[in-house]
Structure 1
Amino acid sequence: MTPQVAAAVLLAAVTHACWNALAHRITDKLVGFTLIAGGGVVIGLAMVPFAAFPAAAAWPYLGASAVIHLAYYLLLMKSFRLGDFGQAYPIARGTAPLVVTVLAAVFAHEVPDGWAAAGIALSCAGLTGVALWGLRGSRPNWAAIGAALATGLSIAAYTVVDGLGVRASGSSLGYIAWLMVVEGWTIPAYALYVRRGELLPALRPFAAVGLLGAALSVTAYGLVLWAQTRAELAPIAALRESSVKPCSCGNNFASQRAA
């Protein structure tokens, strides 16, 4: 991983933390994810005319990624409903790099060397520590932990699928644009089905925050996709999760103030 790629992934981590902080200002998680996913569709459509069309080999990955992202959003919302964010989020994000390491070895034939493996292990150990710190003084909520682990598996799955897809696409910009278009409509469609006539009034108060979160989300993941065309998947996944600590601490601080 070159310094340029590492800097891009760290910038993605900061941007990821920022959009998560904005998302957690919206107490209704379905409303928040609807705005962010729907905003991603708008941004993707705006990018399409300026980006190369992904190669045919990338489209099966785009389709698979859309399905996995839907599962990820639903599992993440379930994790938030079942347990404290400070516990669920580090577990979900900390699980992913280890699973990515295994999947990347199987499907991309990328086996990290000693230093990279040590870095991945250190990152995951740190995230596990954050999760354990959140559990101190309380009984574990096993339902929430199970949902968080399932969320982590979905993160690992879309990370590898998108890593292989963006490499096959021939254009990281084209891939992120079409990924937003292909997968971004699923949560708004689900929200329309679940909420029906109640959705639009619920969206209006948070529209600006949600759309800003969408722009940051697209930027963060676009940087990660670009990095995946230039370095191995597992180290990128581990470095990206440096966003977890500020996300978790920021939300816990907000929860304490609200309490």
Structure 2
Amino acid sequence: MSPAIFFAVLCSALLHAGWNSFIKGSARKDLATFSIMMAHIPIAVIGVLLSPAPDMASLGYLAFGGFLHLGYQLFLMRSYMHGDLSQIYPLARGLSPVLITIISLVFLDVSLSGIELAAIAIIATGIAMQAQSAWKSQNIHSFLLAFGTGCFIMGYSLVDGTGARISGSALGFYSWLSILNATLMLAYVALFQPGLIGALRTVSPVHTLIGGTGSFCAYAIVIWACTQAPIALVSALRESSILFAIVIARFVLKEEITRHRMLAVSLIASGVVLSRLGH
């Protein structure tokens, strides 16, 4: 992996943790989430204009991915209404490789190396510690929402990865996916929370643009990097976002991070990186 790609993926990880912290730190998580998704549209239009159209064979993946991203965003928003960034983010990111491993073993007849199995065991231990903490603090609702968020991350990771490869145009695929996702979000809000549309004008345009650009670029960079370097290395480096999130939670959002939570997060982050490198 070249220094340029290494730095780009690190930037992607920081951007992802950053826009999550923007939602968590907002007084209205629903409005912050909605504004970020709407900010994707102008950026995605530029991506569409600059990229070849995705192959027709990828359209089914694109459509399914749009609904999975919507579910992810709605669950993420509600997760941050009940739990801390330092609790929700590691759980949601860490659950994905565990769930993908279970599906691979049970349904896809995939064999895993000893390193991969050890990594999953480490992640599962960290997740169990987070669940125990949530249970003791009577905040199990946040754990369940984070679990749901992780399920959607697993789903769109599998669908987007396959669709982008079939499309022949990673940026074109993601740009169209972002437009569809934003359209679905707008339809959802119009049906269930129409007041958010009018409330958009109360959100700082600068904050919206920064959050939307960061969110779009974070994923676009990862897709690009996977075409330039081994996917396992890109994925492992990408999960450094968990550590960025912890730093932001502690020093920007001023969350209290106990030794128990720090140990759990460290296990999840280490296991995720190890699982990627084990491929």
TM-score computed with the length of structure 2 as normaliser: 0.76
Whether 1:239 and 2:237 are equivalent positions in the alignment is yes
* RMSD between superposed Cα atoms in Å: 3.5
- Kept in 2, the 8 Å contact 1:124–1:238? The answer is no
- Kept in 1, the 8 Å contact 2:51–2:171? The answer is yes
1:171 Cα offset (Å): 0.9
Match runs of 1:111-126 below 5 Å: 117=116, 121=120, 124=123
- Kept in 2, the 8 Å contact 1:24–1:251? The answer is no
Aligned sequence identity (%):
30
Q: Secondary structure at the match of 2:75?
A: helix
* Aligned residue type for 1:177: S
- Kept in 2, the 8 Å contact 1:163–1:228? The answer is no
* Aligned residue type for 1:69: H
- Kept in 1, the 8 Å contact 2:21–2:248? The answer is yes
Higher mean alpha-carbon deviation, 224-233 vs 243-252, is at 224-233
1:145 Cα offset (Å): 0.9
- Kept in 1, the 8 Å contact 2:66–2:181? The answer is yes
Structure 1 unmatched runs, 5+:
none
Q: 2:206 aligns with which of 208, 230, 233?
A: 208
Structure 2 unmatched runs, 5+:
256-279
* Aligned residue type for 1:185: T
1:210 Cα offset (Å): 1.6
Whether 1:194 and 2:192 are equivalent positions in the alignment is yes
How far apart, CA to CA, are the structure 2 residues paired with 1:213 and 1:110? 38
How far apart, CA to CA, are the structure 2 residues paired with 1:15 and 1:108? 33
Higher mean alpha-carbon deviation, 28-37 vs 220-229, is at 220-229
Whether 1:15 and 2:24 are equivalent positions in the alignment is no
* Aligned residue type for 1:191: V
TM-score computed with the length of structure 1 as normaliser: 0.81
Residue 128 to residue 106, structure 1, CA distance change in 2 (3 Å): closer
Count of aligned positions: 255
Match of 1:32 in 2: 32
- Kept in 1, the 8 Å contact 2:85–2:245? The answer is no
Match of 1:251 in 2: 249
Match of 2:55 in 1: 55
Match runs of 1:135-146 below 5 Å: 135=133, 138-146=136-144
Q: 1:156 aligns with which of 154, 157, 161?
A: 154
1:110 Cα offset (Å): 7.8
- Kept in 2, the 8 Å contact 1:110–1:232? The answer is no
